Structure 1
Amino acid sequence: MLVTRQIAKPPLLLLALIFSLFAQANNRDIEVDHKVVTEHKTLIEGQRVSYSATTGTQPVWDDEGKAIASLFYTYYQRTDIKDQSSRPLVISFNGGPGSASVWMHIAYTGPRILKIDDEGYPVQPYGIDSNPYSILDVADIVFVNPVNTGYSRVLKDAEGKLPPKDKQQEQFFGVNADIKYLAEWVNTFVSRNNRWLSPKFLIGESYGTTRVSGLALELQNSQWMYLNGVILVSPTDIGIERNGPVKAANRLPYFAATAWHHGKLDKDLQALDLEALLPQVEEFTLNRLIPALAKGGFIDAQEKAAIISQMARYSGLSEQIIAQSNLDVSTAFFWKELLRNESKTLGRLDSRYLGIDAKDVGDKPDYWAELTSWLHSFTPAINYYLREELNYKTDIKYNMFGPVHPWDRSDNKTGENLRQAMAQNPYMKVLIQSGYYDGATNYFDAKYNMWHLDPSGRVKQRLSFKGYRSGHMMYLRREDLKASNQDLREFIRAALPAKEQSARYPR
């Protein structure tokens, strides 16, 4: 005889709970607060270095103490040092806005870098290699991904919904909102990792320079955290006005560097070393081109002809093109024009990179050759590295560029904030690093920023500039990777005060 047994049905409440747990387990949601630690060894400058790598997330809280976002970070800490209190900490940001920290993380200062050739171009098979020039020998480093970059995300509310777009912008996506929440996050990170006694440095690249310039003052005034140094890599305008004749004229030294690289200058100029050529172009730009542009359509015809001739000589462009542009040649047009007769275009962020357009005619390239090249190599490298070497497993998509727009750029006073932070803190020094072939944030604009950061000139002894023969990410070129890290190393050491040296101005 067949015997059947009826199984009791679970209560509806239990079914709902089971379904909820199943849904949570299968949602693509970030873990709000956790970390994974791995141990490593490497050689830096011929010295064996032991270090830990902590990958994880740490919350962003609102004023009521509620977690509203979680930021993904990677923290490298040297483990063969007895006294951590005097060990510098470098807090690293990239830019965009909307860019992950991937670029400087696995190509510049970190202990592991992506596999590329000596000039920075992708090679297969993709992968990761040791960075023999990393600054980890002299400083610990944390790479921070702002909201919606890398694995960082806005958090859902109790009902499982994201805040409205306007609310997200108010909280995260603007010059000053970005600075405010990141300063709070840095405070928590420093406290959790017992780094209050450490000398502290901020480094930012591209829009990250706007970020760290503002953070320098915000950390001092709102978090009472004082810095030893700030490093601006390929800086933006940081709120310093460069409009009109200055904006147009400041492009010429970049044009000259790029034309020299591609062999488009007259023989006597090509025979010069780049760093012998650029000072004379800079002198012409400051003392003749800016005044000429300021005269507009009322410039004397003879003077205008002389200016056009010299601009053509320094830029590799024809006198006709410069005349037709009224002395104001846009960078986009330059990228299209310089190698037009060779059916090639120039990269925006690094003009050593070449592209091919559908048509030779036009006033700007079809795409940015350098960015496609970088995404080619960085994307597989960072996804592999985090999962396989640092053991950080997640189904969250790593956002090389995340959704952060529209970005509120109003009330950008970050340059003035940096000046004020330096004035308040006699310890603080600033280093600016730029690539000569960067057409997006050109090196001469970076110098101009430095000159006008403090018009009084009273802090100029604490400001320094370094240039490199590459582009926006100057560290991709092997020779510059070594040089730029050494410049960082020397800057960090020089920014550490002597024992018992007080932070005060002499009378």
Structure 2
Amino acid sequence: MPPEKETPEQKNEKSNSNEPDSSKETQFWGVERDLKAIGEFIVRFLSRHHRWLSPIFIAGESYGGFRVAKLARQLQQEFGVGLSGAILISPALEFSLLEANDYNLTTWATVLPSLAAAAAHHDRAQWAGQRGDLPAHIAAAEQFARQSLIPMLAMGEAFPEDERQAIYQQLAGLTGIPLSVVERLGGRIRIEVFARELLRDRQRIVGLYDASITAIDPFPDRMTYEGTDPTLDGLDRLFTGAINSHLRQTLGVETDLTYRLLNLETLKAWQFDFKGDWKQGFQGSVDDLRVGMTLNPYMQVSISHGIFDLVTPYFASNHLVSQMKLNSEIRSNLTLKHYPGGHMFYTWAESRQQWFAQMQAFYQNAIA
């Protein structure tokens, strides 16, 4: 049956609604149009405020870090905007590294150091070195991920059984997960399983976005975890209250529109494909960052993570940077620096102060 036509009353009701027209919004729900919208805004802002010759920096967190890496190329190549610096905070650079499965081996290795860091923080790990030496424990997990875990997973059934058991024992020691669970999972520890199993005996779970944070497991007797993430759903009310207060009281924004901290409707409908692009699979942004850095050999790049973030783990960025094959003339322009904390590591007072000092030096260096 053909769709019913809107009555004049329905059209009038929609035009008077406080909510935006979703049909106009959805055209921006995709990688390509989203980036172009940001580029268009930046160009108009620079023109309106006569700032074309000013030092220009872009910064983004999480998916915003993906945007920054893409824009490092697109702003300079398509919009003629020269950048002094690009700041990526807990970025998701290559989405293939966020999808853990039997055939993508790298993901299991890049998340391991963060699992080990969280286990040590909760004193559930067998410390690699002196007890309480977190950097040494993390370094041991990084080495183990590269030299032991990846070869075992890559060889599959062909890997010698006695060596496999030795690796399982090391993995259990680093992550604090029971050996029986590690064996059952074949050394592939999903972050959701880790969050449930690490403190199961205390009926507590750890956060995915900050595994140093714990919460009571509401269903401790069920086989699978059916509660919420304490670092996402548990903090939603705090950040929603803060941003609404900031918008209305500090910035004076007068609107009846609802601010959504996380819009799941947009997330599910987001278009990752590029028009006219024959590539298939997950979107990535590291190639764009590489091109952007070569287009402008003076642009400084900073990538920072929290070591307890399991969603966008710091070691994934370390791994990607090591694969970028940057020319020696520009390699020093890229800085990797990670801090105690989770996805929003700056909520930790000490990490915020250290990051603030790092950013001060970063800006000064970029405009020198």
Query: Is TM more than 0.5 here?
Result: yes
d(CA) in 2 for partners of 1:377, 1:183: 31
Runs of 4+ in 1 over 4 A off after TM superposition: 239-243, 267-270, 455-458
Larger Rg: 1
- Say if 1:213 and 1:418, in contact at 8 Å, map to a contact too: yes
Equivalent residue for 2:106, pick from 246, 250, 259: 246
> Structure 1 residue 479 and structure 2 residue 337: aligned?
no
Whichever residue aligns with residue 152 of structure 2, its letter is A
* Distance verdict in 2 for CA 1:413–1:318, change over 3 Å: closer
Please report how far the alpha carbon of residue 413 of structure 1 lies from its aligned counterpart in structure 2 after TM superposition.
4.3
Equivalent residue for 1:330, pick from 168, 171, 190: 190
Aligned to 2:323, what secondary structure does the other structure show?
helix
* Distance verdict in 2 for CA 1:481–1:417, change over 3 Å: same
Please report how far the alpha carbon of residue 266 of structure 1 lies from its aligned counterpart in structure 2 after TM superposition.
2.6
d(CA) in 2 for partners of 1:288, 1:299: 11
> Structure 1 residue 186 and structure 2 residue 42: aligned?
yes
- Say if 2:120 and 2:127, in contact at 8 Å, map to a contact too: no
> Structure 1 residue 377 and structure 2 residue 367: aligned?
no
Which region of structure 1 is more displaced relative to structure 2, 235-244 or 386-395?
235-244
d(CA) in 2 for partners of 1:267, 1:416: 37
d(CA) in 2 for partners of 1:491, 1:431: 8
- Say if 1:345 and 1:365, in contact at 8 Å, map to a contact too: no
> Structure 1 residue 282 and structure 2 residue 142: aligned?
yes
* 2:298 aligned residue: 427
* 1:63 aligned residue: none
* 2:57 aligned residue: 201
Whichever residue aligns with residue 314 of structure 1, its letter is L
- Say if 1:200 and 1:227, in contact at 8 Å, map to a contact too: yes
Please report how far the alpha carbon of residue 239 of structure 1 lies from its aligned counterpart in structure 2 after TM superposition.
5.5
d(CA) in 1 for partners of 2:61, 2:127: 35
Please report how far the alpha carbon of residue 259 of structure 1 lies from its aligned counterpart in structure 2 after TM superposition.
0.3
Aligned to 1:302, what secondary structure does the other structure show?
helix
* Distance verdict in 2 for CA 1:215–1:460, change over 3 Å: same
Whichever residue aligns with residue 476 of structure 1, its letter is T
* 1:410 aligned residue: 273
Q: How many residues of Structure 1 are paired with residues of Structure 2 in the alignment?
A: 343
Whichever residue aligns with residue 438 of structure 1, its letter is D
> Structure 1 residue 305 and structure 2 residue 149: aligned?
no
Aligned to 1:370, what secondary structure does the other structure show?
coil
* 1:141 aligned residue: none
TM-score by length of structure 1 reads 0.63
* Distance verdict in 2 for CA 1:202–1:218, change over 3 Å: same
- Say if 1:430 and 1:463, in contact at 8 Å, map to a contact too: yes
Please report how far the alpha carbon of residue 212 of structure 1 lies from its aligned counterpart in structure 2 after TM superposition.
1.2
> Structure 1 residue 395 and structure 2 residue 266: aligned?
no
Unaligned regions of 5+ residues in structure 1, if any?
1-15, 30-152, 157-161, 498-507
Please report how far the alpha carbon of residue 192 of structure 1 lies from its aligned counterpart in structure 2 after TM superposition.
1.4
**Pairwise CA RMSD of aligned residues?**
2.4
- Say if 2:93 and 2:284, in contact at 8 Å, map to a contact too: no
- Say if 2:128 and 2:140, in contact at 8 Å, map to a contact too: no
- Say if 1:355 and 1:367, in contact at 8 Å, map to a contact too: no
- Say if 2:128 and 2:174, in contact at 8 Å, map to a contact too: no
Please report how far the alpha carbon of residue 462 of structure 1 lies from its aligned counterpart in structure 2 after TM superposition.
1.5
- Say if 1:209 and 1:238, in contact at 8 Å, map to a contact too: no
> Structure 1 residue 355 and structure 2 residue 215: aligned?
yes
Whichever residue aligns with residue 218 of structure 1, its letter is Q
TM-score by length of structure 2 reads 0.86
Q: 1:84-112 deviations in whole A, cap 9, x for unaligned?
A: xxxxxxxxxxxxxxxxxxxxxxxxxxxxx
> Structure 1 residue 28 and structure 2 residue 18: aligned?
yes
* Distance verdict in 2 for CA 1:282–1:420, change over 3 Å: same
* 1:76 aligned residue: none
Percent of aligned positions with the same letter in both sequences? 31
* 1:315 aligned residue: 175
d(CA) in 1 for partners of 2:173, 2:225: 22
> Structure 1 residue 222 and structure 2 residue 78: aligned?
yes
Indicate the structure whose relative CO is greater, using CA pairs within 8 Å and at least 6 residues apart: 2
Please report how far the alpha carbon of residue 308 of structure 1 lies from its aligned counterpart in structure 2 after TM superposition.
0.8
Whichever residue aligns with residue 28 of structure 1, its letter is N
Q: 1:424-477 deviations in whole A, cap 9, x for unaligned?
A: 101112111100110111111121122223466663222111111110000111
* 2:28 aligned residue: 172
Please report how far the alpha carbon of residue 350 of structure 1 lies from its aligned counterpart in structure 2 after TM superposition.
0.6
d(CA) in 1 for partners of 2:271, 2:129: 43
- Say if 1:240 and 1:415, in contact at 8 Å, map to a contact too: no
d(CA) in 2 for partners of 1:270, 1:397: 51
Which region of structure 1 is more displaced relative to structure 2, 370-379 or 324-333?
370-379
Please report how far the alpha carbon of residue 240 of structure 1 lies from its aligned counterpart in structure 2 after TM superposition.
6.6
Please report how far the alpha carbon of residue 389 of structure 1 lies from its aligned counterpart in structure 2 after TM superposition.
2.4
- Say if 1:335 and 1:364, in contact at 8 Å, map to a contact too: no
d(CA) in 1 for partners of 2:140, 2:329: 27
